[in-house]
């Protein structure tokens, strides 16, 4: 079963410890050696270089970062294949960045991975606000069809749906104490409903792809560039 380990910082709290790229890379290599790593990217470029894309009545709106929405800021991720949620939480406890920020554990459905070409990579995060209601199945079908188009164009290299029916968890280490908080989280107005990893020539092309995403008609698509793939 696949799970997404989202590496997050909190806007209202400085990192508790300094955790470097080298230590996170070592953790990724350990996961790969254990045969559980299915994908990883990070760190992501600063949120000030990100964009929030929304299309209403056919008119796209692009808002440049940094943003004030949400308490957590995603800075990278791992996709792991483990037996169950409990095993994913145990991996999150081992992630070095749990000492600095938060590791959010989310189940992944319909995960996909395609070999990239080495072009710049971007993570598109599909937000789901409280106003988005109604049958989900038609939206899944439309997104699935569009992802097939992106794959044929050579742009899609990963992603998946993050089903809300499997409760999320947040893991953080504060001193000698490891804290696991089960979701849903009352302070979260927008959840991440899914993600896609794409390759594009530059940020402008990535934003154009986000505008074409069916999800942009329903809610926000956040565009984040990968500074260094954690492969």
Tokens of 188: 């979260």
What pLDDT score was predicted for residue 78?
A: 96
The predicted pLDDT at position 130 comes to 66
Residue 225 has pLDDT above 70, yes or no: yes
In this model, does residue 229 exceed pLDDT 90? no
Res. 16: pLDDT tops 80: yes
pLDDT at 113: 81
d(CA 48, CA 2): 30
Tell me what pLDDT residue 138 has.
Answer: 86
73: exposed, middle or buried (C-beta count within 10 Å: 0-12, 13-18, 19+)?
A: buried
The pLDDT of residue 117 = 75
Q: Give the CATH number of the domain where residue 155 resides.
A: 3.30.70.1060
- How many domains are contained in the chain? 1
- pLDDT tens for each residue of 119-173: 899 999 999 876 655 557 888 899 999 999 999 999 999 999 999 889 999 999 9
Residue 28 within any structural domain of the chain: yes
Q: Do the domain assignments include residue 51? A: yes
Residue 41's domain spans which residues? 2-225
Instruction: Quote the CA–CA distance of 198 and 80 in Å, as a whole number.
Output: 19
Residue 11 included in any domain: yes
State yes or no: pLDDT of 53 exceeds 70: yes
Position 208 in a domain: yes
pLDDT confidence of residue 191: 87
Q: According to the model, what pLDDT value does residue 112 have?
A: 82
Alpha-carbon gap, residue 12 to 101, rounded angstroms: 11
pLDDT at residue 136 in the model: 78
For residue 136, being part of any structural domain is answered with yes
Is 230 a member of any domain?
Answer: no
Q: pLDDT tens, 85-131?
A: 999 999 999 999 999 999 999 999 988 887 777 889 999 999 987 66
**Is residue 35 included in any domain, yes or no?**
yes
pLDDT at 135: 55
Q: Is residue 231 part of a domain?
A: no
In terms of Cα–Cα distance, which of 121, 167, 120, 126 is closest to 144? 126
Report, as an integer, the average pLDDT of 188-208: 92
More confident residue, 38 or 129: 38
């Amino acid at each position: 079963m696949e799970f997404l380990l989202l590496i997050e910082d909190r806007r209202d709290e400085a990192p508790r410890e300094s955790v470097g790229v080298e230590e996170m890379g070592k953790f990724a290599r350990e996961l790969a050696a254990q045969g559980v790593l299915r994908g990883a990217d990070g760190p992501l470029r600063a949120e000030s270089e990100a964009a929030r894309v929304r299309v209403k009545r056919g008119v796209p709106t692009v808002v440049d970062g940094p943003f004030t929405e949400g308490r957590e800021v995603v800075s990278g991720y791992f996709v792991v294949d483990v037996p169950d949620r409990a095993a994913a939480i145990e991996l999150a406890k081992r992630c070095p960045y749990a000492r600095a920020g938060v590791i959010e554990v989310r189940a992944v459905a319909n995960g996909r991975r395609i070999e990239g070409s080495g072009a710049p990579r971007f993570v598109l995060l599909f937000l789901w606000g409280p106003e988005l209601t109604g049958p989900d199945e038609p939206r899944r079908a439309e997104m699935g069809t569009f992802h097939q188009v992106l794959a044929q164009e050579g742009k899609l290299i990963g992603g998946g749906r993050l089903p809300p029916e499997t409760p999320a968890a947040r893991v953080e280490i504060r001193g000698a104490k490891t804290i696991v908080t089960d979701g849903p989280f009352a302070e979260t107005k927008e959840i991440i409903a899914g993600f896609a990893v794409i390759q594009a020539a530059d940020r402008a092309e990535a934003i154009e792809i986000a505008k074409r995403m069916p999800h942009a008609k329903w809610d926000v698509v956040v565009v984040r560039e990968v500074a260094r793939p954690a492969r």
